[in-house]
Amino acid sequence: MVAGALDGVRVLDLSRVLAGPWASQTLADLGAEVLKIEHPRSGDDTRGWGPPWVGRPEDGVSAYFASTNRNKRSIAIDLQRTEGRALVQRLAASADVVLENFKVGGAAKLGLDYPTLSAVNPRLIYASITGFGQTGPDADHPGYDFVIQGLSGLMSLTGDEEPTKVGVALTDVLTGLYAAVGVLAALQERERSGLGQYLDVALFDVTVASMANQSLNYLASGVAPERMGNAHPNIVPYQCFATADGYLTLGVGNDGQFARLAALVGRPDWATDPRYATNAARVGHRDALIPQLDGIFATRRTEDWLEALSEEGIPAGAVQDLSEAFGSPQAVSRGLRQSLTRADGSQVPTVASPLRLSRTPATARTAPPRLGEHSREVLREVLGVDDAELERLIAAGVVRD
């Protein structure tokens, strides 16, 4: 197999649930070696977040856990035990990156904080992921995606009448991606300085920053944007329309596309109507234009509209469920659905990384691990722990096999 872009980079992952594991899986897909430290009894919280399960429920691999923990080795160590913490400190001494999402101050209580670990390993890059960051009046508050979606303003923009969360834990996913980007930047800088550094990544910060034009709409105008359902605050028409048999999405991004749309729906006069000729005018007169388009789109089937819109080069698409999305010719052609083989020969489904590098491609190599599956292997390989000592640690409950 071709070496990944991050081949030779070792990541010690002390995080759990989604944001941190998403960051480490992203790095793992790019070739990094990820050592996932888990509690010997419960493991990552998401192991029990089923059904559905991948394999037997007693294997402790929920579909949720499997979505974000491929390409990792699981080492089950009790961090409440002095010997357990000492093992992790030794692992950190040989690591390039540490990822953690303890509450603020939690890592320091365990002796696994950046000042402690970097004193032994000055090249260490250490990323802390929390709900609100290491500073500020809310720093000590726990951070959950759903809560952050509300506090950040995201839910105020999503839905129709009632504030609505995004259908996946997008705040966690985005935070994981930002954390991975920060780690990559720190690795690059280390090539110049020879030193690691500390990353403070907060779900709240990430969500506010990721609202892009909506955040700037507020900063530029002083007016907080409101929920608009599927409509766009700055572009018209750019939303979902009901057809005779379903729904379609329509994204008219410029005035030339709108002129072609106007001709297609039998209203070429709209292209020169001062209320609709420019996007700015359409934004100001959306309440007059959209009901007319509603009536027109309701007269034909989705498939018919999509064929006609495609011929005119107007961006549009069907509203598909996941079964339809994964079964689409595009998804099949891109190989988005993949399968990983466990040691026992069973198969685990996974989704391909969207990162397509020409020489060092991102890869899905190993299935999400069972709890402690690699404890013996890693402690022997990385720390040189012999069999007698391993047996003693396992018998004492410090390590789980």
**300-324 pLDDT, tens per residue?**
999 999 999 999 999 999 999 999 9
Confidence of residue 279 (pLDDT cuts 50, 70, 90): very high
Regarding whether 186 and 90 lie in a shared domain, the answer is: yes
Q: What is the pLDDT of residues 10-23, one digit of tens each?
A: 999 999 999 999 99
Terminal CA-to-CA distance of the chain, rounded, Å?
29
- Sign of the four-CA dihedral 253, 256, 261, 262: positive
Question: Which tens digits make up the pLDDT trace of 203-259?
Answer: 999 999 999 999 999 999 999 999 999 999 999 999 999 999 999 999 999 999 999
CB contact at 8 A, 262 and 269:
yes
Residue 100 inside a domain? The answer is: yes
Are residues 167 and 50 part of one domain? yes
Q: Clarify whether residues 80 and 198 are in a common domain.
A: yes
Half-sphere exposure of 264 (CA within 13 A, CB side): 21
Q: Could you give the CA distance from residue 175 to residue 79 in angstroms, rounded to a whole number?
A: 25
Q: Angle, to 10 degrees, between the axis of helix 212-221 and the axis of helix 203-210?
A: 80
223 within some domain: no
Give me the CATH number covering residue 288: 3.30.1540.10
Task: State whether 48 and 142 are in the same domain.
Answer: yes
* Rounded-to-integer distance, Cα 279 and Cα 25, Å: 41
Q: What are the catalytic residues?
A: 172
Q: Does residue 386 have a pLDDT over 80?
A: yes
How much of the chain exceeds pLDDT 90, in percent?
Answer: 95
Going by pLDDT thresholds of 50, 70 and 90, the confidence category of residue 267 is: very high
Residue 159, by phi and psi: left (phi above 0), alpha (psi -120 to 50) or beta?
Answer: left
Question: 15 and 98 share a domain?
Answer: yes
- Residue 152, classified by CB atoms within 10 Å of its CB into exposed (0-12), middle (13-18) or buried (19+), is buried
Asked if residue 336 belongs to a domain, the reply is: no
pTM of this prediction? 0.94
Q: Is residue 219 part of a domain?
A: no
Same domain, 176 and 115: yes
Largest CA distance in the chain: 85
Label residue 161 by pLDDT band (50, 70, 90). Answer: confident
42 and 183 in a common domain: yes
CATH number at residue 178: 3.40.50.10540
- Give the alpha-carbon dihedral of 376, 19, 90, 35, to 10 degrees: 30
> Is 192 a member of any domain?
yes
Give pLDDT, residue 311: 96
- Residue 55 pLDDT more than 90? no
Which residue range(s) make up the domain with 111? 10-210+346-400
In a domain? residue 255: yes
Per the domain annotation, does 337 fall within a domain? Answer: no
- Answer yes or no: do 57 and 174 share one domain: yes
pLDDT at position 260 = 97
Residue 252, in any domain of the structure: yes
Residues 40-51 have a mean pLDDT of: 94
213-217, 260-264, 279-283, 344-348: least confident range: 344-348
Q: Is the dihedral of CA 294, 296, 298, 300 positive or negative?
A: negative
Pull the structure tokens for residue 235. Answer: 């572009």
Read off the pLDDT band of 25 (50, 70, 90): very high
Confidence of residue 388 (pLDDT cuts 50, 70, 90): very high
33-38 and 347-351 beta bridge pairing: unpaired
pLDDT-derived band at 344 (thresholds 50, 70, 90) equals confident
Mean pLDDT score, 332-357: 94
CA atoms of 332 and 202, how far apart (whole Å):
36
Burial of 90 (0-12, 13-18, 19+ CB in 10 A): middle
**Mean pLDDT of all residues in 28-52:** 96
Number of domains in the chain: 2
Runs of H (alpha helix) within 139-269? 145-151, 154-157, 170-193, 203-210, 212-221, 255-264
Q: Are residues 359 and 295 in the same domain?
A: no
Residue 10 DSSP label = E
Is there a single domain that holds both residue 205 and residue 309?
no
User: Could you report the per-residue pLDDT of 59-113, keeping only the tens digit for each?
Assistant: 889 999 999 999 999 999 999 999 999 999 999 999 999 999 999 999 999 999 9
Q: Are residues 390 and 314 in the same domain?
A: no
Residues 14 and 133 in one domain: yes
